[in-house]
Amino acid sequence: MYNMLQHMHSGLRWIVLLLLVMAVFSAFSKMKQNKTAYTSGDKKLFFYNLIGAHIQTLIGLILYFISPKVQFGEGMMKVTELRFFAVEHISLMLIAIILITIGYSKSKKQEAPGKYKTLFIFNLIALILILISIPWPFRGLGTGWF
């Protein structure tokens, strides 16, 4: 169970990142072009982006309770890897996902092109936070690329 969820969470990062990058670029270009139409393609992209982020969060939250990388105890805050997973990763990721959700929800009540501006700003900040808080292999946290 743990192994399966860990692999899912690790692999799903790429899908979440791809959708998020596509969402940011698409929202930006449509905002710049002052597009007044919201196509079914846009609708799908921002919807899948939200669902991908929500599924990743759910898996992450389950992992938080079963992962050996999340441990509490005296001195754990001084150990980089333990502090990263117990505190840093979950806090920044939660903020990022909440931003994606607020952006999506807020944009639903708006018309294009204002809609695209909201989607662009919220998804861009979320993308930056997610890139910062992914435990990339080069950060020495004992993680891999997939």
Chain residues that interact with ligand HEM, rule: CB under 6 A:
6, 9-10, 13, 16-17, 47, 50-51, 54-58, 60-61, 63-64, 67, 69-70, 85, 89-90, 93-94, 97, 101, 104-105, 130, 134-135, 143-144
Question: Residue 94 contacts by C-beta under 8 Å, 6 or more apart in sequence?
Answer: 57
Degrees to nearest 5, angle at CA 65 with 59 and 70? 105
Cβ nearer to ligand HEM, comparing 29 with 105: 105
Cβ nearer to ligand HEM, comparing 32 with 83: 83
* Three-state DSSP state, 85: helix
Q: Are 113 and 30 in contact (CB under 8 A)?
A: yes
Distance CA 130, CA 139 (A): 14
Cβ nearer to ligand HEM, comparing 33 with 61: 61
Cβ nearer to ligand HEM, comparing 33 with 111: 111
Smallest gap from Cβ 43 to ligand HEM, in A, equals 9
Q: Which residue is nearest to ligand HEM (CB)?
A: 60
Smallest gap from Cβ 74 to ligand HEM, in A, equals 20
Smallest gap from Cβ 131 to ligand HEM, in A, equals 9
Q: Report DSSP letters for 24-79, one per residue.
A: HHHHHHHHHTT-----HHHHHHHHHHHHHHHHHHHHHHHHHHH-TT---STTGGGS
